[in-house]
Amino acid sequence: MSDVRDEGGQDGFAAELWSAGAATYDAIVAHPFLTGLSDGTLPREAFAAFVAQDSHYLQAYARALALTAARATDPAAVRMFSAHAANAIAVEQDLHARLLAELGLSSADVAATPVGPTTLAYTSYLLAVCATGTYAEAVAAVLPCYWVYRDVGRTLLERSSPDPVYATWIATYASPEFDAVVEAVVATADALGPSTGPAERARCRTHFATTTRYEWMFWDAAWTGLTWPV
């Protein structure tokens, strides 16, 4: 699988953040869940587990983006993150409704699926940083959710998938529309660099590294069928 990741501006704050998650990104694209998506060998049960947890995730992610919007002072950023919060709910309802129908699941099945340990850990971390951190910290925490999916979408699109359900999912994140969304957030992160001091930048790198790790763990949880041990 060739490496088509896009690290944004050369020396900007976004590129500094990306460096904190780059090794984890390499592990993500090599994960059997993702190689299985593009070669079609991923068991449908693992994908269904992912989509069910992603429905729970997107509801919390929308709230994290709304918190990020509330902390922004630049009107363009308030508008952008608010729109993305609304869109996360729309994706939850539209993309997932289509995927679930093809997987033979209903939204009631998903609602009845308990929020898994990794989903709860990831969403709790996102909501905590976005509620109690600075604006730059909130942006750094949510950035991998956009960036990793865009780069994963691009990488997987090179081979797409023999499975039409997986191909639908890949095409969503590899689309020019999603790319434009991600580029706007990367530019927003870059714009924050000059006004962010060294201690805050270090916290931002930690958040970016942590949520990138949670992205790996999210796919891994669906792959291994992780549930609560007791």
Ligand X SMILES: Cc1ncc(CO)c(N)n1
Tell me if 54 contacts ligand X by CB under 6 A.
yes
Residues 164 and 103: beta-carbon distance below 8 Å? no
For ligand X (CB under 6 A), the number of binding residues is 7
Environment class of 204 (CB within 10 Å of its CB; exposed 0-12, middle 13-18, buried 19+): buried
State in angstroms the smallest separation of the CB of 22 from ligand X.
Answer: 17
Which entry of 145, 177, 183, 200 is annotated as an active-site residue?
A: 145
State in angstroms the smallest separation of the CB of 172 from ligand X.
Answer: 9
Environment class of 76 (CB within 10 Å of its CB; exposed 0-12, middle 13-18, buried 19+): exposed
Cα–Cα distance, 151 to 215 (Å, whole number): 13
Annotate 133-161 with b (16+ C-beta within 10 A) or e (fewer). Answer: bebbbbbbbbbbbbbbbbbbbbbbbeebb
State in angstroms the smallest separation of the CB of 215 from ligand X.
Answer: 6
125 or 149, CB closer to ligand X? 149
Q: Helix (H, G, I), strand (E, B), or coil: what is residue 122?
A: helix
Choose the binding region for ligand X from 6-14, 15-23, 53-61, 153-161 (rule: CB under 6 A).
Answer: 53-61
50 or 135, CB closer to ligand X? 50
Write each residue from 206 to 225 as x if it is in contact with ligand X (CB under 6 A), else as -, in one continuous string: ---------x--x-------
158 is catalytic: no
Tell me if 57 contacts ligand X by CB under 6 A.
yes
State in angstroms the smallest separation of the CB of 198 from ligand X.
Answer: 29
Cα–Cα distance, 216 to 102 (Å, whole number): 25
How is residue 193 annotated by DSSP? Answer: G
Residues 204 and 14: beta-carbon distance below 8 Å? no
Query: Which residue reads 């865009």 in tokens?
Result: 150
57 or 81, CB closer to ligand X? 57
Write each residue from 127 to 146 as x if it is in contact with ligand X (CB under 6 A), else as -, in one continuous string: ------------------x-
CA 122 to chain CA centroid, Å, is 10
145 is catalytic: yes
Return the residue nearest ligand X (CB atom): 145
Tell me if 125 contacts ligand X by CB under 6 A.
no
Q: Which residues bind ligand X (CB under 6 A)?
A: 54, 57-58, 145, 149, 215, 218
Active site members: 145, 215
